[in-house]
Structure 1
């Protein structure tokens, strides 16, 4: 999360300590989101209390030593018999539940969850909040059995999403989000209890509270990334009325930052990349909103305003854009803003060294945008963006092959487009890519070369002058079968005199 998530603060805590904690949390959440990008882990969230000044930093982060069963029972008795002063024993219990072993001991204790849920459903607001904090600590447990033990609290957690306390609402959302990945049983129960309608109503009521919107996005994402999401969850999400809220939340806020937009963008990505009918997403403006936000972010990047965390929003938006473009072919919802071309080229340059995979993602979206679109292909030539792309041909990791696909989309439209590519310097660049060791790059280069050579007799002369024919001959004898066939075909059809010489020498 891109702001400090704290349940309470004490004024006496120094500003430096809080800033340091904020920085640590931002770095931690950044690592989680980067891992999520490649689907490497389930990212549970823990909202830390930072009001315990008597605890050192290590104990706040890792929890205390595990308590014995008798010590846990003593804490439970303190909560049960505390009269009007139950908040203090609940706070002690909450701190103890930071330890994974104590969590297991707690759920095995008789009536433990019954007592905790009783405090959650009571009328004392402070005890309610502390009980929610205890459940939140339990929801962060690595043990699935702990999450299942929290199920009796599910209806109350969902009910409080429509409450007046935004602090409690946010806490309940992250607790629910942590519980979702634990097991199919937990998800099934929460779905039956109405979690999707509760999230939709909460979104509608709290759309101006970006802290809550971020928490809603996190919880929904945890549902959508489940292995069984395709069978039952995604269709239910599409039908629950939350899609327009997700789309409207994609724009980052100048003061709050990127957190809410990032969470909602990842939710939309999972919906877009599923096998369901995308017509509703297109009709509700998902493609136009992704385009508009990317263009805005591209303008900021072009001006050098590379804000920390911006790339984590660009990433899911690019994936949404690329997949929606495939679905929108032949529809009347294709983007018309040619600034999108410059935006994608800006991203490919700006993140080339720091995030090469994001550069490749930008080029993939550009490939989907230009495939079959003479308008966007013309735009790349008119805006003089092809030289920018050609500069990327010297980079590997799939970047050069994706560039070749994009310029191939341009050359496919005929002679004038090929002439534009030659004027941009592509022929010279192909002489370099034909020497590369990557088979895919050589194959795509040969395909492009054939287009260019077929466009004008002058190109044959220029390619010969560049000593390009020996490159083809080398490929013909030293490459894989597909490259050999392509090189031989080009030599035979475009340079028959050289081809005849080779045949004579070989005989």
Structure 2
């Protein structure tokens, strides 16, 4: 197949690997930036205490004794409000690197992780307020990457996966469950844990049930679309991390006919469009059998539509997905030409960031 950069025939596998490596490097930089931003970000979707919202309350650095005290109250407090207040204090303290480091001496090296993860186990005894606060505590710990391998080994992914399933069931039972408050930190926790190198070694992905987690995630995405669109990128980042290195999760998307619901999210925003296209690239790069399930269908006409977007990142990701599709399904290129795709793509040939990809796709479509 043609490569626009070198202008000579190259094996399909080399081109696909080059696209994959380029995307992985780009995503690694984005994930690092997201973790750093999330580590200092304040909570979303819900006002904290008035004094904190006004900036009058500065998070205090906690010592070992205070951390232990707050954890004991969270586990054994006699009242739910008492447990929640303890976790609020802990969550605020964990925004400081010093508190995070202390949390590694007194907690992560002990047997406590097993016990504190029980605060997030779904069931009739799950208290939403306590779960929200602890999920944000866990979020700051995971973002700081102090010892995520230990959290995974203690069943962190399986516990959070079960919680995702429970949340999806809850939003189906009631329209106003208030679970979007819990969904944000839980989605971030699972997404960030899945990027750990230790996941494969520890069998972390096996802690999640493929079909059930993907189905639950799409239920939550539909809920966010209607109730809280700002959470759509959080869910799509998780879907991206699930499908990046897992053919089984990609198969789940196809077998449950979830490509069209995914495509329906494209008009929401540029950020959402880019993440949707990234997930579809994850599917397409898995090979001819996967591309055969992607085309024919609505994908090609949707991609021609996204080529008309003014956002360079969205257009670039569309070009990358089209290149993968044409490499594995050359007959899709003919359909692309018949739908005037080449003319739509021409408008980007002078864009410095897109020139190489536009040229490569032109060569691929015309010399298939």
State the TM-score, normalized to the length of structure 2: 0.79
1:285 CA drift (Å): 1.1
DSSP-derived class of the 2:353 partner: helix
What are the within-5 Å matches in structure 2 for residues 54-203 of structure 1?
Answer: 181-182=59-60, 184=61, 187=62, 191=63, 194-203=65-74
Q: 1:315 aligns with which of 166, 184, 194?
A: 184
Q: State the Cα distance separating 1:351 from its structure 2 match.
A: 1.1
In 1, distance between residues paired with 2:364 and 2:195?
Answer: 35
Residue in 1 that maps onto 2:81: 211
Match of 1:331 among 202, 221, 234: 202
Q: Give the alignment partner of residue 239 of structure 1, picking from 104, 109, 115.
A: 109
* Alignment pair present for 1:341 and 2:341: no
How do 1:457-496 residues align onto structure 2 when only pairs under 5 Å count? 457-477=330-350, 480-496=351-367
CA distance in 2, matches of 1:253, 1:219: 25
- Determine if contact 2:75/2:83 at 8 Å carries over to the other structure: no
Given that 2:306 and 2:318 are in contact with CA atoms closer than 8 Å, whether structure 1 keeps it comes out as: yes
1:258 to 128, 142, 153: 128
Q: Provide the rounded CA distance (Å) in 1 between the counterparts of 2:231 and 2:305.
A: 24
Q: Deviations over 1:325-382 (max 9, x none)?
A: 1112443121234211112222222212542221110000000011110000011000
Deviations 1:229-272 (A, max 9, x none): 34444554423544223311114665775101111111111111
* Shift of residue 398, structure 1, vs aligned partner: 0.5
Three-state SS of the structure 1 residue aligned to 2:345 is helix
1:310 Cα offset (Å): 0.9
Candidates 306, 311, 320, aligned match of 2:175: 306
Deviation at 1:223, TM superposition (A): 1.7
TM-score, with normalisation over the residues of structure 1?
0.58
Q: 2:163 aligns with which of 262, 282, 293?
A: 293
Following superposition, the deviation at residue 226 of structure 1 comes to 2.7
Q: Is the 8 A contact 1:246 1:265 kept in 2?
A: no
Q: Which of these residues, 368, 373, 384, is aligned with residue 257 of structure 2? A: 384
- TM-fit CA distance, 1:416: 1.0
Partner residue, 1:162: none
Deviations 1:438-457 (A, max 9, x none): 10000000000011111223
Query: What 5-or-longer segments of structure 1 have no aligned partner?
Result: 1-34, 47-138, 144-177, 498-507
User: Does 1:445 find its partner at 2:318?
Assistant: yes
Partner of 1:482, secondary structure, is coil
1:273 shift after superposition? 1.1
Say which SS state the counterpart of residue 307 (structure 1) adopts: coil
Query: Which of 223, 229, 233 is 2:99 aligned to?
Result: 229
Q: Report deviation, 1:322.
A: 0.1
C-alpha distance in 2 between matches for 1:473 and 1:494: 13
Does structure 2 retain, via aligned residues, the 8 Å contact 1:265–1:313?
Answer: yes
Counterparts of 2:239 and 2:116, CA distance in 1: 24
Q: Structure 1 pair 404/266, CA: closer, same or farther in 2 (3 Å)?
A: same
Give, in whole Å, the separation in 2 of the partners of 1:331 and 1:228.
Answer: 28
Conservation of the 8 A alpha-carbon contact between 2:153 and 2:202: no
Task: Point out 4+ residue stretches in structure 1 off by more than 6 angstroms.
Answer: 139-143
What stretches of structure 2 of length at least 5 have no aligned partner?
1-40
**Residue pair 2:210, 2:248 contacting (<8 A) in 1 also:** no
8 A Cα contact 1:200 1:242, kept in partner: no
Q: Partner of 1:422 in structure 2?
A: 295
In 1: Cα distance, 2:202 partner to 2:86 partner: 32
Matched residue SS, 1:309: coil
- Choose which of 223, 240, 244 in structure 2 pairs with 1:350: 223
Relative distance call for 1:326 and 1:292 in structure 2 (3 A) is same
Q: Highest Rg: 1 or 2? A: 1
Q: Which residue of 1 is the match for residue 328 of structure 2?
A: 455
1:338 to 1:287, Cα distance in 2 relative to 1, 3 A: same
- What CA distance in whole angstroms lies between the structure 1 residues aligned with 2:68 and 2:248? 42
Shift of 1:307: 2.8
Deviation string 1:426-481 (CA, Å, 9 cap, x unpaired) is 1111010011011000000000001111122321221112111212222224xx21
1:197 touches 1:240 (CA, 8 Å); kept in 2?
A: no
Which structure has the higher relative contact order (CA within 8 Å, separation 6+)? 2
Q: In the alignment, which residue of structure 2 is the partner of 1:276?
A: 146
Name the CA distance, whole Å, in 2 between partners of 1:424 and 1:244: 46
Q: Distance in 2 between matches of 1:267 and 1:236?
A: 15
With over 3 angstroms needed to count, the CA separation of the structure-2 counterparts of 1:424 and 1:306, relative to structure 1, is farther
